Structure 1
Amino acid sequence: MAQIDSLFVTRLYRARLSEHGPTIDADELEASCFSIAEDDEAGQDWCEENGYPGYTSYASLTDLPWRFPIFADVVTALDAHVAAFCEDLEFDLDGRKLVLEDLWINILPEGGTHSSHLHPHSVISGTTYVSMPDGASALKLEDPRSARMMASPARKKDAREELRTFVYVKPAVGDVLLWESWLRHEVPMNMSEDERVSVSFNYKWASE
């Protein structure tokens, strides 16, 4: 009898942010994101100069946990989630651990997108979701072998999820998603009239 195994699996971690760390008030976190976006002139200028729809603090602010205590609580929770994901991935960290590298706000307006990309030099990347109005776009994940498929036929529309070339994950407010940083992903167009708000982050392998 034939045996078919699944090899070289790509893992996606999904949980409620509140499962670890202090209780985080969703309304306070959302208000903090908008307050920072309103005051961050350098970030606004960067978005305008680079044609980035909406707002991101990625290129302007590196100290969100210091500016607003609620972001320090978010990091405390994320540290625990990332540690749990590392256990699942069976990483040999050689006595070291993964530490937060950067943390930034994303506010995507109606019609805004974030094109396909990955996060070089990091180990784990992810996002926690602050506001996901009806019609807000899912996270689109791409099979990392896409460039090697060459003459492969397209998958059937109803193919099993683990066999699809693209997987769309629809997070809810308060969810945290984690993946290995080499996994290519994008945010399709926001079809909602309201803004899609999230906080993204990278974790790196500590040097000592």
Structure 2
Amino acid sequence: MADIRSLFATRLYRARLDAFQPEVDARELEASCLSIAEDDEAGQDWCEREGYPGYTSYASLTDLPWRFPIFADLVKALDKHVMAFAEDVQFDLGDKGLVLEDVWINVLPEGGSHGSHIHPHSVISGTTYVAMPDGTSALKLEDPRLPMMMAAPTRTKECREELKNFVYVAPEIGDVLLWESWLRHEVPMNMAEDDRISVSFNYKWE
């Protein structure tokens, strides 16, 4: 028998946001995201200027946890999830820690999408899901080895998940997904009539 092993694992963390205290009220978080999106004129202007569908606070509001208590509570919960993930991937952090670099709101309307990208300069990135209407898009993750596969044939449709070139993850409201920041990902077109709302974030090592 041949000895065949899977090497160079790419880990994806999925958990319920309320798995750790403090609890974050989902309805209050959704209401806060929509209220901020409506009032953030600088963010709206940036989205229009850059052709970003819907709304993101990424380029306009850098202090959500300071401005809004609900986001301060959210970050306290995310800190614990990030440390759990760091233990799973066995990071040797030395005398440093993983700290929040930025956190931002995403409101993606019907027809909106977010193209393939990575989060440079960060260690762990992720998203927690606030509103996921029926039919909305899953998160699409790309095998980081894909550019090196050159002349490789395509995989069979029934291939194991660990061998797929792309994996789609359909999160539920209240889920947290974490991955290492170099992992390329995208949000395909939202086919639902209602907004897809999420809060994304980066953690750095310092």
TM over 0.5: yes
User: Aligned partners of 1:61 and 1:21: how far apart in 2?
Assistant: 25
Q: CA RMSD in A?
A: 0.5
**Alignment identity in percent?**
77
1:69 corresponds to which residue?
Answer: 69
Matched, 1:88 2:88: yes
The residue number in structure 2 matching 1:25 is 25
Q: 2: CA distance between counterparts of 1:28 and 1:82? A: 23
1:196 aligns with 2:193: no
CA deviations on 1:159-199 (whole Å, 9 max, x unpaired) are 11110000000000000000000000000000000000000
The 2-side partners of 1:83 and 1:182 are apart by 18
Name the counterpart of 2:97: 97
Shift of 1:20: 1.1
| Counterpart amino acid of residue 174 in structure 2 | G
Task: Show the counterpart of 2:117.
Answer: 117
Unaligned segments of structure 1, at least 5 residues: none
For residue 21 of structure 1, report the CA deviation from its aligned partner.
2.3
Structure 2 stretches lacking a partner, 5+ long? none
Look up the match of 1:9. Answer: 9
Amino acid at match of 2:120: P
- Which residue is equivalent to 2:160? 160
Count of equivalent residues: 206
- 2:187 matched to which residue of 1? 187
C-alpha deviations, 1:136-178, integer Å up to 9, x for none? 1000000001100000000111111110000000000000000
Return the alpha-carbon distance in structure 2 between the equivalents of residues 66 and 3 of structure 1.
Answer: 53
CA distance in 2, matches of 1:85, 1:97: 13
TM-score normalized by the length of structure 2:
0.99
Q: Which amino acid in 1 is paired with 2:22?
A: P
**What residue identity is the alignment partner of 2:184?**
R
The structural deviation recorded for 1:36 is 0.3
Runs of 4 or more above 2 Å deviation: none
Write the distance in 1 (CA, Å) between the matches of 2:2 and 2:187.
Answer: 39
